[in-house]
Structure 1
């Protein structure tokens, strides 16, 4: 890997976006890459915007990629994905949860939440290489909606040059022991979904 892979993970406070970024960063380290990570969060505990940059490479100097430089955007919430879509390079890959958390402007009646058609329209201006993941629904089926971030990482893992075993080695260090099995199953479900989509 001569050029670093630039990831950006975006979501809302409380979604586990930063936990997912920590797992992704450690997976890169265990796989032998130089890794840099940075995170930005406003009112993270109150449903504010949260974003994290993770970069893997042979040698990485800066923790952040600029606008139009992100190779893979992982969006945990639809509006947040749109907010940061300009960071994704043209033709980059977007892995996007279909989950909606209406911001205050919407709940107060001052704005309208974008339809899925509009959402897809904006994404397709940047890339046709995107995957929509019903991550929260999958996690709810498994009995723990909080495991949706592992669904998303499972989907991401299909597109990266890292063995599944490394992900399964790293994840237990970041999730509570009592929720480990459901999180690992969430990862497998996300991986299976993306694997099927990739074959199409």
Structure 2
């Protein structure tokens, strides 16, 4: 299970390494001790070599990761908040236990808005209208020994012929898309977790844009 950073759809990591990685979208733990990351508590066991690297700081009660000792990647993502009749469109990577907003990686030589438009068209085969920018969420996660850090840029987005009574058809076999009542983001485990607060702020007419993070402030 992924923590409250981007959930991770492993298949997306197989695409162009420097540009398109997670389906978004987090696990850190050592031995049987739990480490809280991005709002989740994970008890995933690290490999012996990684555990050896972490042992000195764990014994001192300091859970800082020695990230330079493992591969790491940074992701810039564009996400669309698509609303209709108090319902929110979410994406689900089949086999995972969380949902996330439609969208994906920003590619070189294109703007963030263009990236979101393209991603929605690739995922759903539909035309969208990318509207106001409402904020950003930064998050981190680890997957199969690689550390991932990401920034999600969030836009209110309109979808052609949106109808919450009919789920749009996915154009990608590992993804499905469906509408959820806006008050069920927790039930459907929308990640990263701070995304829920940004959407709630927007719905409640709280003045933005907003910035949220799964990192602890220093």
TM-score by length of 2: 0.26
TM-score by length of 1: 0.28
Choose between structure 1 and 2 for higher RCO, CA contacts under 8 A separated by at least 6 residues. Answer: 2
Q: Which has the higher strand share?
A: 2
Larger radius of gyration: 2
Q: Which has the higher helix share?
A: 1
